[in-house]
Chain A
Amino acid sequence: MSTLIIGLSLGMLLFLLASGLTLIFGMLGVINFAHGALYMLGAYIAFDIGRHTGSFVAGLIGATVLVALAGALIERLALRPLYDRPHFYQLILTFGVILVISEVVKVVWGLGYQESTMPPALAGTVDMFGSTIPVYRLFVIGFGALVSGGLFLLIEKSTFGMLVRAASSDGEMVRLLGLPVASVRMAVFALGSGLAGLAGAIAAPLFPIELGMATNTIIDCFIVVILGGLGNIRGAVAASLLIGLVRAIGYSYMPSWVDILTFSLLIATLLTRPQGLFFRATRSA
């Protein structure tokens, strides 16, 4: 049972992380290599705010807002001039962004590991279904579900969501209608980045905070986003939970094979179902 809870919490965390990446790809067509770096930045910021104010919530909010701002800045300064160029320029540019963010983190927080403390209110354990479960894990699951629900409402029901979907399917048309495509793009990038920051803040008490997060996390994001289908938020939810559970179960039974199996699944998916595991193709012919 506790394996299931750990798996679900891992999955929710992965979803928070990957949703921003898939959102950005779906709406802007940009693969943001620096997403993992933004996640790392979120973790460091939350850690620092938590250390100084003693408030976990302040860290959560601070990390989300500051990383969203960083995202907006990146979009405005680096990506906006590149939309008309071949896609790989954006891909490669965001690789450069990783280096810069990593260096900023190094300057501010140094090279070593940082350990964030669990907020006291969530630090305990509860007995459920006959096993002992950390409260924080339950919090991650609940919070993740909340955020994903909010995300769906935002994208599918709000005016902003409609505008975003219109801009992603036909930017030129939307521009002709006098709607602010540039601002929409920036907002989407900021939102996606903010989600990465939030994920970082949530993850901070669970894992050691270190520089390797930038390059390792992005690989996890890619796995989820590809399995779920690039740009497909519903698929990302399913893929995150799947990977979370596979990891949790895998780590307790055959730890050394987990990564190898995940990657094999990833490659198989890329080849046989490039639109994602959960894509229902409208078959022609």
Chain B
Amino acid sequence: MSDIALKCDGVTVSYGALNAIDDVSHSFAQGRIYGLIGPNGAGKTTLLNVLAGRQMRHRGSIHCFGADITRTPPHERAHLGIGRSFQITKIFAEMTVLDNLRIAAQIKHSRFQPFWIAPRYERRLAGDIDAMLELTGLSARRDDIAGTLSYGLQRALELGITLMPDPRILLLDEPLAGVGQHEIASSTRLIKAVSAGRTVLLIEHNMDAIMSLSEEIVVMSNGRVIAVGAPEQIRNDATVRSVYLGEEES
């Protein structure tokens, strides 16, 4: 069973009488890229929150590489290799780009953070930081305050921070949301590149992007998984067309 990266069993999240997620059971195989689609309110982000540990009040169980993580807090899940990016950018807005990535590098290198000025420790981080600046195309902006970057660059930084600890599982919540039209192609390439060798759960409303990135599509509606399959298969599925694609065309 070790080729299963993430597995949820009977996961249900309710807000009062409403079930945001309704009895979802699904296994995500290691090294595959999953696209999570569905209309607004289908429960996609809630599912990512459950997997990342942000939403702990749910029924059912979660396993990560065979270990039960149902009660594991978010920071421990991060150490198990779960990385998460957010739909609403979550970066350290008052710090420089460099410091944003530096904090992320710190958690990769040590669980203990020195109380003193530690030049040797900082030097050990430098290689990883430079590589990530390169990958995300932020090298020229390394000394800019993160909050002053353009939206597209903030999304790139968000991805960079998420990738820094080298997670085995990537939960990406609408990485292309708000990215300018001319940057979509390059952002898609970046996501493709960093997905290699990782298990990826991707929420995205840009249909072209998600169909080209994903190896398998999971369709959600009203908190349930209603269809699973390869992108072409999903495109031609009548149920999916009626609840989702149909809705989008109307």
Interfacial residues, chain A to chain B (CB-CB below 8 A): 282, 284-285
Interface of A is mostly: loop
Q: Hey, which bits of chain B sit against chain A, CB under 8 A?
A: 12-16, 57-59
CB neighbours of B13 from chain A (8 A): 284-285
Whole-angstrom CA separation of A114 from B169 in the bound complex: 70
What are 12 A-B pairs with beta-carbon distances under 8 A?
A282-B16, A284-B13, A284-B14, A284-B15, A284-B16, A284-B57, A285-B12, A285-B13, A285-B14, A285-B57, A285-B58, A285-B59
Note all chain A residues with C-beta closer than 8 A to B59.
285
Q: SS class of chain B's interface: helix, strand, loop or mixed?
A: strand
Q: Chain B residues with Cβ under 8 A from A284's Cβ?
A: 13-16, 57
Nearest 3 interchain pairs by C-beta: A285-B57, A284-B14, A282-B16
Residues of chain B within 8 A of A285, CB atoms compared: 12-14, 57-59
Question: What residue of chain B has the Cβ atom nearest to residue A284's Cβ?
Answer: B14
What is the CA–CA distance of A285 and B11 in the complex, to the nearest angstrom? 10
Q: Which residue of B lies closest to A285 (CB)?
A: B57
Q: How near does chain A come to B51, taking the closest CB pair, in angstroms?
A: 16
A-chain residues with CB within 8 Å of residue B58 when the two chains form the complex: 285
Distance, CA A181 to CA B167, complexed state (A): 48
Known contacts A284-B16, A284-B57; 7 additional CB pairs below 8 A are A282-B16, A284-B13, A284-B14, A284-B15, A285-B12, A285-B13, A285-B59
| B20 to chain A: closest residue by CB | A284
Q: How far is the CA of A282 from the CA of B16 in the complex (A)?
A: 6
In the assembled complex, which residues on chain A have CB atoms less than 8 Å from the CB atom of B57? 284-285
Give the distance in Å from the alpha carbon of A282 to the alpha carbon of B13 in the complex: 14
Nearest opposing residue in chain A for B16, CB measure? A282
Q: How far is the CA of A285 from the CA of B13 in the complex (A)?
A: 6
Q: Which residue of A lies closest to B15 (CB)?
A: A284
CA distance A284 to B59 in the complex (A): 10
**Bound Cα distance from A282 to B14, whole angstroms:** 11
> Please, how many angstroms separate the alpha-carbon atoms of A282 and B17 in the complex?
9
Give the chain B neighbours of A282 by CB distance below 8 A.
16
